[in-house]
Amino acid sequence: MIFSSVLCFLLTKVLKIFKVEEGMTLEIYVTSVIPIGAMFAMTLWLGNTAYLYISVSFAQMLKAIMPVAVFVLGVAAGLEMMSCRMLLIMSIISFGVLVASYGELNINWIGVVYQMGGVVGEALRLIFMEILVKRKGIKLNPISLMYYVSPCSAVCLFLPWIFLEKSKMEGNSTWDFHFVVLTLNSLCTFALNLSVFLVISHTSALTIRVAGVVKDWVVVLVSALLFADTKLTVINLFGYAIAIAGVAAYNNHKLKKEASPRVTTETPGDDSESIALVSQANTER
């Protein structure tokens, strides 16, 4: 998050390659951006901790439950309307994730709890961002979003790290700071966010959503080839296929819903769609 903050500052204020959207006030920052940054920190912390207990492919399968969490919280916040169609889609996704979990050979419930906590944090963050866009009228492109949110997330991660993890790291004499690996990871994260911004700007939200579904399958299959602790079963893949089918139906429903009232003068990269997509990219680097 510190790396992202510095890069965003250089690109927007020093090199001026990108422009930071106007309209941000102290009140909006305190009431909207800080909660978004806090939920982002929660997502990163819990989601990354889950990898200590479960495989990359299984974590990816559990992430398929995200639309269900977003929809349930959206209904509670008054942003979504319950319908028979959406209820069916949510049921398909939930059933698929349950089947995929049942097929996991080495399931670790601590890792599952961490991953589900990360999913809830991400869902809350998307809800807060939708409130920011729809109720407060602030529209941010992904670069502007990272410019405002990254410093807040860095602080939210730094404070609990001091009290909960710093002492453990200092007490572990074998701990080593892999600067090159962390730098490459940060560069990949920022490059992913930037690529989402460019794809949305030059194509459409549908393109990035279709690419996202393909990416999900690639992550599951490639991680199974790269990591020895990952063992995929037929039940795993069958359940995940059901969940992905539900996610595809959800994406199609959302795109049709968002396309109908859209004003023709609106630019592709400046709506809540781009914010939601870059949010997904942030946690799936």
Which of these ranges, 7-11, 33-37, 161-165, 212-216, has the smallest mean pLDDT? Answer: 212-216
Residue type, 5: S
Q: Which range (47-56, 194-203, 256-265, 270-279) has the least confidence?
A: 270-279
% of the chain with per-residue pLDDT over 70: 84
Q: Which residue has the tokens 């109720």?
A: 135
How many CB atoms lie under 10 A from the CB of residue 199?
A: 19
Looking at residue 116, its pLDDT comes to 94
Residue with tokens 């007490």: 171
Q: Which of 108-112, 158-162, 207-211, 242-246 has the lowest mean pLDDT?
A: 207-211
54, exposed or middle or buried, with CB in 10 Å at 0-12, 13-18, 19+? buried
CB distance 244 to 214 below 8 Å: no
pLDDT of 218 over the 50 cut: yes
Where do the domains of the chain lie? 1-18+25-164+194-258
pLDDT average, residue stretch 147-166: 90
Of the candidate ranges 97-106, 133-142, 147-156, the one whose mean pLDDT is the lowest: 133-142
pLDDT band, very low/low/confident/very high, at 121 (cuts 50, 70, 90)? very high
Q: With residue 281 as reference, give the H or E element that holds it.
A: helix 272-283
Contact 281, 192 (CB under 8 A): yes
Q: Which long-range contacts (CB under 8 A, 24 or more apart) does 82-90 make?
A: 85/253, 86/250, 86/253, 89/246, 89/249, 89/250, 89/253, 90/246, 90/250
Q: Identify the burial level of 17 via C-beta atoms within 10 angstroms of its C-beta, where 0-12 means exposed, 13-18 middle and 19 or more buried.
A: exposed
pLDDT of residue 270: 44
pLDDT above 50 (res 269)? no
Q: Is the pLDDT of residue 260 over 80?
A: no
Residue range 163-189: average pLDDT?
82
239 or 276, which is more confident? 239
Q: How confident is residue 19, by pLDDT bands cut at 50, 70 and 90? A: confident
Distance CA 69, CA 250 (A): 12
Q: Model confidence at 112, in pLDDT bands (50, 70, 90)?
A: very high
